[in-house]
Amino acid sequence: MITFINPSTEKPYIRFQSLYQDALANDQRGIEAISVSSYDLKTNEVEARYVNLKYITDNEWIFFSNYNSPKAQQFSAHKQVSALIFWPSINTQIRIKALISKTSIEFSDMHFKSRSKEKNALAISSNQSQNIDSFDEVEMNFHQTLKSMTTDTVRPDFWGGFSLIPYYFEFWQGHKNRLNKRHTFEQKGGEWEERFLQP
């Protein structure tokens, strides 16, 4: 589930929320899963992974991650990313281009405090995407951290939010015979320019 906090009332945001409600009503599994694609300036490789979109507040789309992870390093060197959503339950794809940056310390603290002790133990114990010898080692680190945690345990500096600010939306709806409907919004000088694209 995505939490909406005073979301923008601009046209593509309204459209997004309406499709989200449709997908929810159609029991879409993994509705908060969005794929975020980034470019690695060191290796010249495109990489993509799913993240859980937790909040939409004003025009920001927020998820959380380890700030030392490979994706965090990619985001800081090349701030343009793509986000992609597919909800088969309503045969809808949403394509976004956005700029990415870290959320405020306050927002990261707020979200960290709202999470279960177990999820936070994992955020603290995992050196995300580093090699490890076995899954047993992952479990051992986790259980040691969990045992050591108290009610005073605070968010570590290396974990927090990322905020996407979209500048391009495509709403793609599948249709019979591949006559798919494609409707785009592109930010140009503070306005959203609308277009229809051929399928």
Q: Which is nearer to a second copy, 9 or 132 (CB)?
A: 132
Q: Which residues contact 130 (CB under 8 A, 6 or more apart)?
A: none
CB of 9 to a second copy, least distance (A): 25
8 A C-beta contact, residue 160 and residue 76:
no
- 65 vs 163, which CB is nearer to a second copy? 65
Q: Smaller CB distance to a second copy: residue 106 or 196?
A: 196
Residues 93, 76: Cα–Cα separation, whole Å: 27
Could you tell me which residues come within 8 angstroms of residue 128 by beta carbon, excluding any fewer than 6 positions away?
Answer: 65, 66, 68, 69
Of residues 6 and 44, the one with the C-beta less far from a second copy: 44
Q: Taking the complex as a whole, how short is the minimal distance between the CB of residue 116 and a second copy, in angstroms?
A: 8
Instruction: Summarize as ranges the residues that interact with a second copy (CB under 8 A).
Output: 29-30, 33, 35, 37-39, 44-50, 78, 80-84, 86, 88-89, 93, 95, 97, 116, 118-119, 121-123, 126-135, 138-139, 142, 177-179, 181-182, 195-199
CB atoms near residue 17 (< 10 Å): 16
| Angle separating helix axes 135-148 and 117-125, nearest 10 degrees | 120
> At its nearest, how many Å lie between a second copy and the CB of residue 176?
8
